[in-house]
Structure formats: structure tokens, C-alpha cells
Amino acid sequence: LSRLTLGRGGPRDLAAVRDGLAMAGKLRDVLEDKSLVGRPKGIEDAVKDLGHHQELIERLARALGPDLPVYARDGGFIAPGYRADLDELRQLRDASRKLIVGLESNYRQQAGIDNLKIKHNRVLGYFIEVAARRADGLMTAPLNETFMHRQTMANVVRFSTVELGDLERRIAESADKALALELELFSDLSGKVEA
């Protein structure tokens, strides 16, 4: 709790608070048992404020994943299913190849070109590549509204689409956004613990 209050805590500190509060609730149940032999005087007064934090315990249990890093800046500590927008960012970050394959399949059907491929390089980023002999169909209406010519080479022609450009941007930004959202959630959870 001290580390969290001072802004030096991490996800494991949140888990320790969660587990400590849960144990305090169990201790309260034991101490409230009036049949307990040798119960000290005044225990009722001490037990009144002990362990009434079920809402916070449940929130921390839902929020924190099973494998917690020491530092929040390492990310990966918010449990799947806690925030849909975080899950979407993680899916995009982790399953980018799967999304590209799905988009490639859609473009193959739309263009009617079986050997259409989506590739990536450092200069162009993601692009669609087709054999030069099949490229004419993508440069005429109605397909030229979707497929934008980028580069012609000896044997292949490269294209892009708004959707592919958007997906590339989202993939690039997803990891940074996921970490930023996790840090925001960490701050929010720390604030709930401190309150």
C-alpha cells in the first residue's frame, strides 16, 4: 500500500493488497464468532472496520491477470476480458498476421486473382502484390476504386488500399496504445486502493 501511495508500486502490489483484504475478511469472520473461546475484550470494536472491501477485492480479481510483472511499464498484467478495448488492441497486436491473411483472402475473392499476396517491407510497409500480367484488372473500374497503384516492377505490380493502410497503422499503434491503456487502468486501480 505504501509503494502504491508513493507512486512506486506495481501490479504485484495491487495483488498483494487484494489478497490481504481477502484475508482480512476471513479474519473478521473468525473473530466475529462469539463461540470463540478466549476471545479478548474489545474485539468487537476492532472487528467493525475489518474486511468490508468485497467490491474492491472483486474488481482487483477481475482486473489482474495470473502472471504479474514487477513493473506496470512492462504491461501484460490486466486480465483478458476486463476491458474490451484493451482486448481488441491486444488481438490486433498479437494476431496481426492472421488479420493480414484474412484480408488477403478477401482481396483475392474481390479481385478474382488467386496469386494476389499481401507482403511487407520496411520501405513500403504493407502492400498488395500481383503478377504484372494480372494487374490491369485492378487498375480499371470498378476495382481501381479499391486498389490504388503504388509501384510497377518487371514482373509484379504493387497496390495498396485504404483498408490495408488503416490496418497497418492500427497494427503499428496497437502495442503502444495497449500499454498506455494498461498504465491508465493501473493508475485507476491504484486510486481505488488508496481511497
pLDDT at 135: 94
* pLDDT tens readout for residues 86-126: 999 988 888 888 889 999 999 999 999 999 999 999 888 99
Least confident of 2-16, 45-59, 137-151, 168-182: 45-59
Least confident of 5-9, 17-21, 43-47, 120-124: 43-47
Contacts for 140 with CB less than 8 Å, ≥ 6 apart: none
pLDDT-based confidence at residue 72 (cuts at 50, 70, 90): very high
pLDDT in tens, 148-194: 999 999 999 999 999 999 998 888 888 889 999 999 999 999 999 98
CA atoms 10, 12, 13, 14: torsion sign:
positive
Does the model's pTM come out above 0.75? no
Radius of gyration over alpha carbons of the chain, in Å? 27
48 pLDDT higher than 90: no
